[in-house]
Amino acid sequence: MKILLTGATGYIGKRLLPILVAQGHQVICCVRDKNRFYIPEDFQQKVQVIEVDFLEKETLEAIPSDIDAAFYLIHSMSGSDTNYDELESISATNFIERINETEAQQILYLSGIVNDKSLSKHLASRKNVESILAKSKVELTTLRAGIIVGSGSASFEIIRDLVNKLPVMITPKWLNTKCQPIAINDVLEFLSKSLLNPVTYNESFDIGGPDILTYKEMLLSFAEAKKLKRYIFTIPIMTPKLSSYWLYFVTSTSYKLASALVSSMKVEVICNDHRINELLSVKPMTYKQALSRALIKVEEDKVASSWKDSLISGRFTRNISKHLKVPKKDCYIDRRKKEIENREYTIDRIWSIGGETGWYYGDWLWSLRGFIDKLFGGVGSRRGRTNKHDIHSGDALDFWRVLYANKQEGKLILYAEMKLPGEAWLEFKIIHNTLYQAATFKPKGILGKLYWYSVLPFHGFIFNGMLNKLIK
């Protein structure tokens, strides 16, 4: 079968792709930018990649007419706080207009549980998208999930950050809100088993694990799994804005995502029924089992996808390809080079940079820069990286975004997502037996120029030390 996969660069899409390929399907992946989509070599015969922006109607003509089904995994929370619901509505409308012209038999949509009468803006938008998709002439299957627990999921990483960093937590009262978490493995099983399955046509299903827990209980269960003693006290005076800042400063989440999550966390997300479990013969795992699996994946450095690699985690809004060519005109450039002793060793060191490994030299200065960025509303350096030794175009790396990563070529280009009075790039490339490193800054106005000269004295200390550590 020929299956259309939208949101292919997202947390769910990246994990669903290998399952569809293993089932023998030909998969058409919709991405906004081919340069930030990595396809494993053994998938390439079964995967076709097309560039589609669902907000630009004309680009949807790239979708083939002979598809059999389509997964709709598009979300727009990375838009501004005031209009992401509008963007989701436009995307869904453009999508069904094109799908109606194809041979598709089914649309599969992953939404959120919307049983409460009073919905957050985030959940109300999900419900509205479902209503738009239902107007299509194609059969619709909607799966509504609550909190998704898995290595790399936003929920899991927020819980991990809070528990690891705070022995005592003074928390908002919404931590007493009940929810029904579900393991990422179960979400993927429900999605794959619903594909072209007539029993799911024109139906909406709530999917969740067997446990109904408060967010406080979820945090304490994580602490128990990690053998950590934690104390949590809830207070009623924390406003949604304060709660959002609390999540933003303590965890790796962006402020926009924190705001959307806080508004949703005040609403109970509990399944109304479990019909789909019997229909598809799925037995969801418990919350503790889901945590155990996620922790093992993190420990083994086998995180298949992470929310942080989505553009929602940073301030990058344009295609990576537009930044691949590092400018030289009107730019300040700090160039350095060192002869290398072992090419393979140096490349491995470069490919492991950032995250838990650090920057090899002056780590406290990198951490300080990340903290300052967080104070000014930037991404900070808490995002880290998804895998310890593997990076691809589009990945988040502390307060950088990976633009280009080619191990064979020995070239890595990073783009700064921190708050800056300008734009910044950091390049590493190996030519013959020499490692070249360049920090490029394109200033905006006088503030940008002042910024460059204020950090310039630290470059010699940081970059020289780092280059020495990379080659020896």
pLDDT tens over the chain, length 472 residues: 999 999 988 899 999 999 999 999 999 999 988 877 878 778 878 999 999 989 899 999 999 999 999 999 987 654 444 677 788 888 999 999 999 999 999 999 998 887 766 666 667 778 888 889 999 999 999 999 989 999 989 889 889 988 998 999 888 888 888 999 999 999 999 999 999 999 999 999 999 999 999 999 999 999 999 999 999 998 877 777 777 777 888 887 777 777 777 766 777 888 988 899 999 999 999 999 999 999 999 998 888 888 887 765 555 555 666 677 888 999 999 999 999 989 999 999 999 999 989 999 989 989 889 888 888 888 888 788 888 888 888 899 999 999 999 999 999 999 998 999 999 999 999 999 999 999 999 999 999 999 999 999 888 889 999 999 998 8
What's 346's domain CATH number? 3.30.530.20
Residue 380 to residue 357: CA distance in whole angstroms: 16
Whether 367 contacts 381, CB under 8 Å: yes
Whether 2 is covered by a domain: the verdict is no
Domains contained in the chain, number: 1
**Residue 308's Cα: distance from chain center in Å?**
4
- For residue 153, give the 3-state DSSP assignment: coil
| Tokens representing residue 431 in the block | 């030519």
Q: Kindly state whether residue 116 falls inside one of the protein's structural domains.
A: no
Does the residue 22 lie in any domain? no
Largest CA distance in the chain: 66
Contact in structure between 470 and 450 (CB atoms under 8 Å): no
HSE-up of residue 76 (Cα within 13 Å, Cβ side): 22
Residue 444 lies in a domain: yes
Tell whether 403 is covered by a domain.
yes
- Adjacent-strand bridge partners of 37: none
pTM: 0.87
The burial class, CB within 10 Å (0-12 / 13-18 / 19+), for 7 is buried
What strands lie across the sheet with 411-416, from one edge to the other? 332-339, 434-443, 422-431, 411-416, 400-406, 396-397
Q: What is the pLDDT of residue 118?
A: 65
In a domain, 460, yes or no: yes
Direct distance between the N- and C-terminal alpha carbons of the chain, in angstroms, rounded to an integer: 51
Q: What is the pLDDT of residues 410-435, one digit of tens each?
A: 999 999 989 999 999 999 999 999 99
Q: How far apart are CA 375 and CA 355, in angstroms?
A: 20
- Asked if the structure places residue 401 within a domain, the reply is yes
pLDDT of residue 81: 47
Tokens 């009940």 -> residue:
178
Confidence (pLDDT) at 258: 76
Joined together, the tokens standing for residue 356 give 């838990």
Complete DSSP assignment for 42-89: GGTTTEEEEE--TTSGGGGGGS-TT-SEEEE----TTS-TTTHHHHHH
Q: Which residues, listed in sequence order, are joined to residue 214 by a DSSP beta bridge? A: 178
Q: Is residue 42 part of a domain?
A: no
Tell me, what's the pLDDT at 19?
95
Work out whether the CA dihedral 219, 418, 121, 130 comes out positive or negative.
Answer: negative
Which residue range forms the structural domain that includes residue 415? Answer: 321-471
